[in-house]
Every structure is written in structure tokens, then in C-alpha cells.
Structure 1
């Protein structure tokens, strides 16, 4: 088995060596040996780091990502949690698209003052509503205007 030095893993994965040491400390990855003081990893660590990066990008905390790694080095995908996360991301995408459209409107609005623009005032009113109990303001939504 070809072992990878911590520096090579860091460079190939695009993370700092300190991040690798932290991931090892909390049990997300494991070095298999040392060459002097430098940690050595098996090639499978690169896949693990990609899965960690994907989980982080999706918004999962490191603790949850760690729980997805099986004891035999496998990866257990909690499909129901992934579907919930995908739906939350879809909602965020819609909200961000509506926010982008609002910003475009503000930038292009010909009204002498934005506060004189009826569309802008409707957007502000919609932004201030809390239409989802327990979820806080749903920010900007084009469907509300």
C-alpha cells in the first residue's frame, strides 16, 4: 500500500495540514503510520476528505459527518436526513433567487427614491413577515409580492 505524507494529502485535498490533524484528533480520519514526525495516510483518506467536504458544503456539522463513517471504514448515508437537507437547500436557493431579483429591482428602479417605489415597498413588507411558525422570517420571496 502506498502511503501519503500529510503534506501530500493536504495539497491533494486542498486543506491545511492543521485541518488534517484536527480531523484526526476528532476521529474523522486516521493516520496509519509516521515517517519521523510526519503523519502518513492510506490513499482512502482522499475519498474520506471528499465526503467530509461534501457534508460540510451541505451544512452538516462535523459531529454528524463523523457519525456517517462506519466503524469498518464505510460510509452510512442517512437517506432521510439527506432528503431533508436537500429540501432545505432548495428552499434556500428559492429565497436567494428572490433576494437576487429584489436587489436587481432596487438597482434598476427608476423611482426618485426607493421608498416611493410601490414594488419596493411590497418587497419590504414581504421581507418583514414571519409566515412560517418557528422558522423565523422567511426573508424575501417573490411569491408574496
Structure 2
């Protein structure tokens, strides 16, 4: 098995060497050897990094991501936690879709002033309600 040094892992994964060192400090990854001062990793670290990247993109905390790995390093991903994050992402998608639609309307609105446009005012009101709803949900969590 060919080991990868930290530079190779950074290049292949797109994760900076400083982030790799931080992930090592937090126990998310670990080198299998050293060659001089350079850390050496098993090729399996690339899958682990892909899972970390995916977890971060899905808004999992690093603690939640760390909990997805058993002591032997194999993934043990909670289906319930994934379902909860999927629901959060769906809410975010809906919010971003509404924001995109508002921006597209603003870009093509024929009204001289956006404040005179009933569609813009309605969309702005919806955005405000969504924002207030998010604040209430985050206080409950």
C-alpha cells in the first residue's frame, strides 16, 4: 500500500495542510507514519476526508462528524441525524429558492420604484416572515 504524504493528500482532496493538521488534532484523521517530519496517510484517508467535506457541506458540526466514525475508523452514520439534516437543508433550499425568485423579480420588475411594486412588497413580507420563523426555530433548538 502506497502511503500519501500530507502534501499529496492536500492536493488530491483539496483540503489545506493546515486543515488536515487541525483534523488530526481533533481526531478526525490520523497519519499512519512519518517520513522525516512529513505526515504519511493511508489512501483510506481520502474517503474519510470526502465524508468530512460532505458533512460540513450539510452543516454537520465537527463533533457530529466525528461521531460518524467508529473506533476502528469505519463510518457509522446515524440515519436519524441524516434525516434531520436533510429536513434542515430542505428548509434552506426553500428559503434560497424564494430569495432567488425575489432577486429575479427585482431584476426584471417594470415598476419605477420597487417600493411601488405590489409583488416586491409581497415577496419582502414573505422573506420577513421566514426570517422571524427561523429565529424562533433556532431559539427552540
Task: State the TM-score, normalizing by the size of structure 1.
Answer: 0.87
Larger helix proportion of the pair: 2
Match of residue 84 from structure 2: 84
Q: Please give the residue correspondences for 1:56-71 in structure 2 after superposition, counting only pairs within 5 Å.
A: 56-71=56-71
Matched residue, 1:74? 74
Stretch moving more, 7-16 or 118-127: 118-127
State whether residues 6 and 41 of structure 2, in contact with CA within 8 Å, keep that contact through their aligned partners in structure 1. Answer: yes
Q: Secondary structure at the match of 1:10?
A: helix
User: Aligned ranges for residues 1-145 of structure 1 at < 5 Å?
Assistant: 1-129=1-129, 130-131=132-133, 134-135=136-137
Cα shift at 1:121: 1.4
Deviation at 1:126, TM superposition (A): 2.1
State the superposition RMSD in angstroms: 1.5
Contact 2:99 / 2:127 at 8 angstroms: preserved in 1?
no
CA 1:116–1:7: 2 relative to 1, 3 Å: same
**2-structure distance, mates of 1:19, 1:33:** 18
Cα distance in 1 for residues equivalent to 2:61 and 2:122: 37
In the aligned structure 2, how far is the partner of 1:52 from the partner of 1:9?
14
Moved over 6 A (4+): none
SS of 2:76's equivalent in the other structure is coil
CA pair 53-132 structure 1, distance change in 2 beyond 3 A: closer
1:122 shift after superposition: 1.4
How far residue 134 of structure 1 moved from its aligned partner, in angstroms, is 2.1
Q: Provide the rounded CA distance (Å) in 1 between the counterparts of 2:77 and 2:28.
A: 15
Unmatched 5+ stretches in structure 2: none
Gaps of 5+ in 1: 137-145
Aligned length: 136
TM-score for both structures, normalised by structure 2: 0.90
